[in-house]
């Protein structure tokens, strides 16, 4: 994932919404997203910070999305 650009939380949430995920609740700065088929994940929304590589990889695994699919939605 070294060639993948840095992603902010709000940008990642917009991309996940294009895949059909919806925000089901917000607790503090963490947004809980769920897909109609049951997949779910948590995306932190910290102003001015990008999501780290490890967390982004975990979110993509939770959502069953590849980095190439995600890059097409940006």
Q: Would you say 63 and 19 are in contact if contact means Cβ atoms under 8 Å apart?
A: yes
pLDDT of residue 74 exceeding 90? no
So what's the pLDDT on residue 2?
A: 54
For residue range 28-60, what is the model confidence (pLDDT) as tens digits? 999 999 999 999 999 999 888 889 888 999 999
Q: What's the rounded mean pLDDT across residues 12-41?
A: 93
For residue 25, the SS3 value is strand
What does the chain come to in residues?
74
Q: How many CA atoms lie within 13 A of 49 on its CB side?
A: 11
Its pTM stands at 0.84
Radius of gyration for the alpha carbons in the chain, expressed in angstroms and rounded: 11
Residue-range domains of the chain with CATH:
7-73 (3.30.920.30)
Distance separating alpha carbons of residues 38 and 34, to the nearest angstrom? 6
| pLDDT per residue as tens digits for the range 59-71 | 999 999 988 888 8
Tokens 């695994």 locate to: 61
């Amino acid at each position: 994932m070294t060639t993948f650009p840095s992603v902010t939380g709000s940008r990642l949430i917009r991309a996940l919404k294009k895949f059909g995920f919806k925000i089901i609740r917000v607790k503090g700065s963490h947004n809980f997203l769920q897909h109609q088929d049951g997949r779910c994940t948590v995306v932190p929304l910290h102003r001015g910070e990008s999501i780290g590589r490890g967390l982004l990889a975990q979110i993509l695994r939770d959502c069953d999305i590849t980095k190439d699919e995600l890059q097409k939605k940006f």
